[in-house]
Every structure is written in structure tokens, then in C-alpha cells.
């Protein structure tokens, strides 16, 4: 995997403005189905060209909530104790997957000497990026699978879904944005792409079957998986702060990351990017642990009543407190 050591390659490619006729109404946009890409007219019959431009013409359907500096710094690793057999199944599965991910991404713990300091520095910038890309390519699957299956279930039963679908799809979208952000910093090689393809096929199939059998176990599984994600990003942040990742010390976040997280001036470095991503993972951790406590057929999604309430509630659980054994449990 080739890692970009600077942001020079991330300059926005110039694009030719859309014609006034296309800008006039959204109806004309869909009727004419034409657009300009790099100065060339693109039609439905023309072959679309791949682009990695960070230019975004329309506002995202899921505008990311603005995290304060205190919120992203307050995120801590946390663990929910596995008491029931369902919890133990979910936790055991995550631990097996964690071992596999460690092997694939080349993760090795540091050797600590008697003075408490690391004597070897095995995790380089390239290995961390490899781990991030593989992690996010897997993390983007559960929300999409759960949202899709609940969507189909809602259609079959011809009734509402109690507000679950949008939260699950937003989670999948958020994880994909993590992946796209890290792809701005690295170019995966053929072997990495093949591993992602294989992992996606296996995980998508397995998680789909598991969600049909027990959505509750699956949400608990995702909660434990996100616990590991928070640990991973916390370790990377610590390595960066301790000077073990010198290539990232002056690296700035990609333009698309600045726009998506609405990162303020002075908080657009690589460390800030990792802090924002970690805060997202902590939010997913707490949301899925909470969803795992609910009746999957009758309970409403507590995070979907109002957007403002969701942002406020999840921000508290994502960054401002730790989960304990009795945390995030449903009251009788």
C-alpha cells in the first residue's frame, strides 16, 4: 500500500460549472440527465469516468453533527460486561475477528521495557493506514445490512419500522466516509483490494443470516466491535502524540474530511482527524449497545425521535462517559 506523505496530491481538480439550464430545476436535471465532468458532457449512454475529486455539488443527506473540542478529547475506551449467553456469543465472535484483523493488518503490540517505555516501534504509518482501511471496509457493512433487512421487513409487514432504518443507514454512510477519507491518504494495492473483497463477501453473507436469526445479538456484536475500534484509534493517537509516527506530525486532513466533519481552523491535522473518527466510533458503540437492549419488533429507536435530540443524546454517550457492566441497560 502506497502512503501519501503530503497533501499535495489532494488538490481539488477543476470542474466546469453546470449549465444554467441544468441548474434551473431538479426536474430538468433528471429529465435531461446530463452533466459536465472535467469539461466533457456526460450522458446516460457514455461511460462514466472514475474520479476521486473531493468536490461535492450537493449538501449531504446526513450532515454530520459538529463535535466540540471537549467532546472529542473526552472519548475513552469502554467495555460492557457480557452477562447473558447472547452477549457472550457476540463478544466471542468479535474477539475471533479481532485476531484475524490483527493478522491481516500486521498489527503487533509494542515491546515494553522495564522503564515502561516501548523499545520497538512496529506499527508504522503505512501499517496503521492499512489497518484503518480494512477496519472501515468491514465496519460499513452492519449498518447497511441491518437497514436493508429492516426496510424489507417494513415493506412485507406494511407498517412503520419505529425509526430504526435511518439511524442504521446513517451509520453505514458514516463508516464509508471514514474509508473514503483514509483512501485519500493511501493507495491500496491489489492484495489489499482482494482481501477487502473477500472479507466483504464473507461478512455481508454471515451478518445477513445472523441478523435474520437474532438482530439483538447482531447489535450487541456491533457494539463490541466498535469498542475495539475505539481502542484501535486511541492507540494510534497515542503513537502519534508520542512521536512514533513522524510522517503524520505535519500532515493535514484531506479536504473532504474538513468539509464532512466541519473541522474548524487549527483543528485540521492528522491527530484531529483521528480524534473525530474515534468520536464517531464511540457514538456507534453506544448506539448499538442501546439498540441491543431493546425489543427489536416493538420498541422505538430512541435516537430517531428528533435529529437534535439524537445528536445531543448520542454525543453524551459517545464522548462524555464510560460504559460499565450495568451501563446502557433497559429499565424494567
Q: What is the DSSP letter of 36?
A: E
For residue range 66-119, list pLDDT tens digits in order: 898 899 999 999 999 998 999 999 999 999 888 877 776 667 655 555 555 555
The Cα–Cα gap between 192 and 180 comes to: 15
The grid cell for 71 is 467532546
Compute the C-alpha angle 293/299/301, nearest 5°: 80
pLDDT confidence tier of residue 63, bands split at 50, 70 and 90: confident
Do the annotations mark residue 136 as ligand-binding? yes
Domain ranges of the chain: 8-53, 66-319
Q: Which of 273, 275, 294, 285 is nearest to 314 (CA)?
A: 285
List the beta bridge partners of residue 41. 36
| DSSP reduced 3-state for 14 | coil
Do the annotations mark residue 175 as ligand-binding? yes
Q: Under CATH, which number does the domain 66-319 receive?
A: 1.20.1260.140
Do the bridges between strand 186-187 and strand 35-37 make them parallel or antiparallel, or are there none, so unpaired?
Answer: unpaired
The grid cell for 183 is 483512501
Do the annotations mark residue 151 as ligand-binding? no
DSSP secondary structure string for all residues of 152-175: HHHHHHTS--TTHHHHHHHHHHHH
Greater confidence, 322 or 11?
A: 322
Greater confidence, 305 or 161?
A: 161
The Cα–Cα gap between 269 and 239 comes to: 15
| DSSP reduced 3-state for 63 | coil
Do the annotations mark residue 166 as ligand-binding? no
Residue 103 CB coordination number (10 Å): 10
* HSE-up (13 A, CA, CB side) for residue 203: 27
Q: What is the DSSP letter of 76?
A: -
DSSP secondary structure string for all residues of 291-316: HTTS-TTT---TTSS-HHHHHHHHHH
For residue range 1-45, list pLDDT tens digits in order: 655 544 444 333 444 444 444 334 343 333 333 343 344 434 444
Helix H, strand E, coil C: the string for 76-101 is: CCCCCCCCCHHHHHHHHHHHHHHHHH
| DSSP reduced 3-state for 254 | coil
**Section 314-330 average pLDDT:** 43
Residue 11 CB coordination number (10 Å): 10
Do the annotations mark residue 281 as ligand-binding? yes
Q: Which of 122, 127, 129, 124 is nearest to 245 (CA)?
A: 124
Amino acid at each position: 500500500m502506497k502512503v501519501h506523505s503530503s497533501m499535495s496530491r489532494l488538490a481539488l481538480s477543476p470542474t466546469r460549472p453546470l449549465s444554467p439550464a441544468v441548474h434551473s430545476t431538479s426536474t430538468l436535471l433528471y429529465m435531461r440527465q446530463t452533466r459536465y465532468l472535467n469539461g466533457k458532457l456526460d450522458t446516460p449512454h457514455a461511460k462514466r469516468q472514475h474520479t476521486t475529486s473531493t468536490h461535492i455539488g450537493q449538501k449531504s443527506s446526513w450532515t454530520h453533527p459538529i463535535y466540540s473540542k471537549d467532546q472529542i478529547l473526552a472519548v475513552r475506551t469502554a467495555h460492557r460486561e457480557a452477562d447473558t449467553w447472547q452477549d457472550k456469543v457476540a463478544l466471542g465472535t468479535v474477539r475471533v475477528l479481532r485476531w484475524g484483523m490483527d493478522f491481516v493488518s500486521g498489527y503487533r503490540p509494542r515491546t515494553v521495557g522495564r522503564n515502561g517505555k516501548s523499545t520497538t516501534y512496529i506499527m508504522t504509518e503505512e501499517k496503521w493506514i492499512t489497518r484503518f482501511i480494512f477496519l472501515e471496509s468491514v465496519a460499513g457493512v452492519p449498518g447497511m445490512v441491518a437497514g436493508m433487512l429492516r426496510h424489507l421487513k417494513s415493506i412485507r409487514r406494511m407498517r412503520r419500522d419505529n425509526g430504526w432504518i435511518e439511524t442504521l443507514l446513517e451509520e453505514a454512510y458514516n463508516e464509508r466516509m471514514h474509508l473514503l477519507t483514509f483512501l485519500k491518504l493511501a493507495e491500496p494495492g491489489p492484495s489489499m483490494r482482494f482481501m477487502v473483497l473477500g472479507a466483504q463477501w464473507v461478512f455481508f453473507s454471515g451478518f445477513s443470516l445472523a441478523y435474520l436469526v437474532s438482530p439483538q445479538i447482531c447489535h450487541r456484536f456491533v457494539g463490541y466491535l466498535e469498542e475495539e475500534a475505539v481502542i484501535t484509534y486511541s492507540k494510534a493517537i497515542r503513537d502519534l502524540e508520542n512521536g512514533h509516527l513522524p510522517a503524520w506530525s505535519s500532515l493535514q486532513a484531506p479536504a473532504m474530511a474538513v468539509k464532512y466533519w466541519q473541522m474548524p481552523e487549527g483543528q485540521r491535522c492528522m491527530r484531529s482527524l483521528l480524534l473525530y473518527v474515534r468520536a464517531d466510533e464511540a457514538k456507534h458503540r453506544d448506539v448499538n449497545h442501546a439498540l441491543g437492549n431493546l425489543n427489536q419488533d416493538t420498541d422505538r429507536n430512541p435516537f430517531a425521535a428528533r435529529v437534535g435530540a439524537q445528536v445531543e443524546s448520542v454525543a453524551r454517550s459517545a464522548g462524555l462517559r464510560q460504559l460499565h457492566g450495568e451501563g446502557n441497560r433497559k429499565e424494567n
